[in-house]
Structure formats: C-alpha cells, structure tokens
Amino acid sequence: MTGVAALPGTATLAEIGEQAVIATLTAGLPPAADVLVGPGDDGAVLEVAGPLVTSLDVLVENVHFKLGWSDPADIGRKAVAVNVADLEAMGARATAVVLGFSAPPHLQLRFVRELTAGLHAECAAAGVSLVGGDVTRSRDLTLSVTVLGGLEGRPPVLRSGARPGDVVALRGRTGWAAAGLAVLSRGFRSPRAVVEAQRVPQVPYGEGAAAAQAGATAMVDVSDGLLADLGHVASASGVVVDLRRDAFEVPEPLQAVSAATGADPYDLLLTGGEDHALAATFAAGAVPEGWRVVGEVRAVGPDAGAGVLVDGRTWPAAAGFDHFGAAR
C-alpha cells in the first residue's frame, strides 16, 4: 500500500497496472459492523438479516457525466448517490456497494485518487460500505455500482401500492440538475448552485425509511423527471396522479436559468431529472414531517387510463428523459 501511495499522480493506469488501481480504489476503507469480509478476496461477505434489497446503475462518460463539467470527486459521489437513491425509494436502508470501474489506459492515477475520495465521501454520507468490485480497461470511463441493503423488518414500498384518496408528497428538490444541464450545455458555470446540483445530486438519505415507517403506499426515486417517474407509479398502481402546479415554487436559481434560456421553469421542475428526490403516496394525514404534499391520487375515469396530470390536464411537454429517445 505504501508503494501505491508513493506512485506519482501523473502515472497512467497502463503504467501502474490493475492491482495498483484496485489498491487505490480500496485504500483506507473503514470496516463496517455488517461487513465480515471486505475487498481483497473473490467475494465480500456481509451479515444479512432478513430480505436483501439490491439495485444497479451504470454511469457512462458523456451520457451521465462529462469530464469537462465534473471533477473526478463529483463523479465518484454521483455514482454512489444515484444508486443509494433507488434503495431509499424501496424504503430500505442501504449498507454496501460494489463497484465496477472501467477506464481507458491513458487515464492518470491522480484522477482515480480524486474519484476514490468522492466515492468514500458519499459512502460515508449515505452510511454504506464499498465492499469490492472489479476493474477493466475500456474506451470510455464507466462506473457500474450495485447497492445492497435491508428492510429492517418492514415490507418493501413498491410502485404498485398507490390508492385513490392518497396524497402525493415530495422529499428533496426537482429541476435543479436540469437547470444545471441547461447552463453547462451553453458553456456557462453559473448559477453555481444548479451546476453543483447537476454534478452531484442531493439525495435525502434516510427519508425512504422514514416514509416506509409512516406507511407510504408507493414510492419512486425521481431520476428521469417527476412526471415520468410518477407515471411508473400511476401505471403500476392503475391510478391517476394529479399534481397541483401551485404546490411548486420556483426557486431563484431556476428563475435565473429560465430567464436566461427561455425555458419554462415548470418544465424544469416537473420533467427535469437527476435530482434523485423521493416521491411517495400516503394516506391523508400520514405524511411525515419534511415532506411536501404536491397532489393527490384518483381513480381512473371512464374515458382515460392511468397516468399523471397537472391541474387535471396532460402536461404539454415530454414527461422526462428516456435513454433511447422516446418521450414518456
């Protein structure tokens, strides 16, 4: 390990080799109580009580991040945050992540060191342990993260449990990362708050479990846009989700971006992705503190199927992001 620390940051991955890359990514990891065997063997060993919840996300250079926009530490933090958000949406407590790291041979060691610092920082914020993974060469920098966790005796909160009469509530913010993308795409770096939101999401850690304890009937991680992701809830539950536009205030940074770009600020709030807020449905009166009620759940009518409305109408813009181009 001392030898790895002494390697110059300008050394490339091709020059230092696979084992030095692994040692860099795993250096200084604090052991957690539920990690019996961490990095270094063919598999990690965790102490698991009850059902295991898992999810996976892949972050690809020039799709989920750009090296000219994000620092290496930002990329490491984002890789952890977007994955843990999925377990939050199940009402679970994430405990461990496994990392697949693919990079071009010319990448410098100092980049990996900074990315590792971001990985470790977000793991600490989310309360998870990096327990292992794999490294390989590739044309583009790619991080594949699998997250593992448990339900602590609770049933999972699914997308299919929303019921007519429930209210819809939001924890976290929406529109900020989309505003940051609009700014960065035009070559600007301000407002700084939205640029930072695009680089690293602010996941409301612990709120998924709080929602589950409060009796959330359905929940989803807002990754592709609030309308798009609540559309999954509506479809799985066979209901109509009707949001109130007046429940959404436009914060000053989004006002500034909208004025500069001509974008509708409510398009940012309702269809912008990558903030990783949590949206859930609750019985009336059961919404936890800190969650904001933004709409209601209704039964489908005779002339329309399940879906998401805003003030009783279909939103005129695309509902959110789709990796293969179709609006949803």
Structural domains of the chain, with CATH: 16-150 (3.30.1330.10), 159-310 (3.90.650.10)
240 vs 226: CA distance, rounded Å:
14
DSSP H or E segment with residue 110: helix 109-126
Question: How far does the chain reach from its first CA to its final CA, in angstroms?
Answer: 49
CA separation for the pair 107, 38 (Å, rounded): 26
Return all residues near 71 (Cβ < 8 A) that are at least 6 apart.
Answer: 114, 118, 199
Q: Summarize pLDDT for 250-309 with one digit per residue, the tens.
A: 999 999 999 999 989 999 999 999 999 999 999 999 999 999 999 999 999 887 789 999
% of the chain exceeding 90 in pLDDT:
86
Residues annotated in the binding site for Mg(2+), as ranges?
A: 42, 55, 57, 86, 134, 221, 224
* Distance from C-alpha of 133 to C-alpha of 22, rounded to nearest angstrom: 9
Residue 221 and residue 278 in contact, taking contact as beta carbons nearer than 8 Å: yes
Q: What is the DSSP letter of 61?
A: B
Binding site: what residues are annotated?
42, 55, 57, 64, 86, 133-134, 159, 221, 223-224, 274, 321
Cβ–Cβ under 8 Å, residues 272 and 177: yes
Binding site, annotated residues for substrate: 64, 274, 321
| Pairing mode, strands 239-243 and 307-310 | parallel
- Are 236 and 297 a contacting pair, CB within 8 Å? no
Strands 129-137 and 93-103: parallel
Residue ranges of the annotated binding site for ATP are 133-134, 159, 223
DSSP 8-class letter at 13: H
Pairing of strands 35-37, 129-137: unpaired
199 alpha carbon, distance to own chain's centre: 11
3-state SS class at 119:
helix
Q: Please state whether the predicted TM-score (pTM) of the whole model is above 0.85.
A: yes
Q: What is the pLDDT of residues 67-123, one digit of tens each?
A: 999 999 999 999 999 999 999 999 999 999 999 999 999 999 999 999 999 999 999
